[in-house]
Amino acid sequence: MQEEKLHIPVMLHEVIDYLKLEPGQLIVDATLGTGGHALEILKRISPGGRLIGIDRDEDSIEVSRRRLSDFTGSFELVHANFADLDQVLSRLGIDKIDGIIFDLGISTFQLKDSQRGFSFQEEGPLDMRLDKGSYISAYDLVNNLNENEISHMLWSFGQERWHNRIARVLVQERITQPISSTTQLADLVVRAIPHRYRRSYYRIHPATRTFQAVRIAVNRELEVIENALKKAVAFLGKQARICVISFHSLEDRAVKHTFRSLKADGLINIVTPKPLTPAASEVEANPSSRSSKFRVAERI
């Protein structure tokens, strides 16, 4: 694996500190990715510790398996949706854990693989499935939802200001040909946005929000957060911690509300009343970390 394709773990020092890691602990990494957080966790829970790594993406699991090989015997990697955390842990005979980390979204490893279709900067098929075994791809949504549904998706999951215009352009285009590649979709989005806004309004590429929205819809990413966090808390031992890194406001809102509701139920204390953000030095070294927000809670 080329180093530049590996995902740089975000807020690594904060994750390590807030998990209060000690040798012998059992920690779950619910979003293993290419194992950046997992590797540092394993170093600190060894000897005697055990890490359970979960990911929806089999390719990422394989990369991690190689990367973590110095610790073989101390970890189990499971191809699953973290929405099924309870089943994954029960199957492994686990009823109590000492900490869990969720690092939501997608990794650089997935983004940089043009064949996965996550990037508007590289030509690739319109796929965007985190789990290659799931049925619905970005192609299916973009070519089959009606104009209102596309518009709604772009607004709800991307907060895209030009959702109506983009939806109209996509629906018109597919009358003549299906929308089948990432760059085709990105070009259509740019075309749909009024000229004068293409540069000034967007500090980011104009297709960023559309791609985010479609990806979230394909993988039903927001739907599972609340349930998964609640399941995770049910497994935490007393004073064990749950750490969550999110990358956009919709995810962070889901985390914040779930933590509040778990606190109201007397199950957790919130350790970070306001989310932590990466230090300026981290953002400089790894610009993709810039929008991350980190929240931590502790089981009562």
Token digits of residue 259: 């933590």
Cβ atoms of 68 and 75 within 8 Å: the answer is yes
Q: List the beta strands (DSSP E) in 96-203.
A: 97-103
By beta-carbon proximity to ligand SAM, the closer residue of 10 and 167 is 10
Map the footprint of ligand SAM across residues 182-221, applying CB under 6 A: 221
By beta-carbon proximity to ligand SAM, the closer residue of 108 and 184 is 108
Binding to ligand SAM by residue 298, rule CB under 6 A? no
By beta-carbon proximity to ligand SAM, the closer residue of 37 and 241 is 37
Distance in Å, CB of 187 to ligand SAM, minimum: 27
Cβ atoms of 143 and 153 within 8 Å: the answer is no
Helix (H, G, I), strand (E, B) or coil at 20: coil
Distance in Å, CB of 286 to ligand SAM, minimum: 11
Binding to ligand SAM by residue 143, rule CB under 6 A? no
Residue nearest to ligand SAM (CB): 33
Q: List the beta strands (DSSP E) in the chain.
A: 26-29, 50-55, 75-79, 97-103, 236-246, 268-270, 293-299
Please pick, from the candidates 14, 28, 37, 163, the single residue that binds ligand SAM as defined by CB under 6 A: 37
Please pick, from the candidates 71, 75, 82, 235, the single residue that binds ligand SAM as defined by CB under 6 A: 82
Tally of CB atoms within 10 A around 37: 27
3-state secondary structure 184-207: HHHHHHHHHCCCCHHHHCCCCCCC
Please pick, from the candidates 11, 19, 28, 55, the single residue that binds ligand SAM as defined by CB under 6 A: 55
Which positions lie near ligand SAM, rule CB under 6 A?
Answer: 7, 9, 31, 33-37, 54-57, 60, 81-83, 103, 105-107, 130, 221, 224
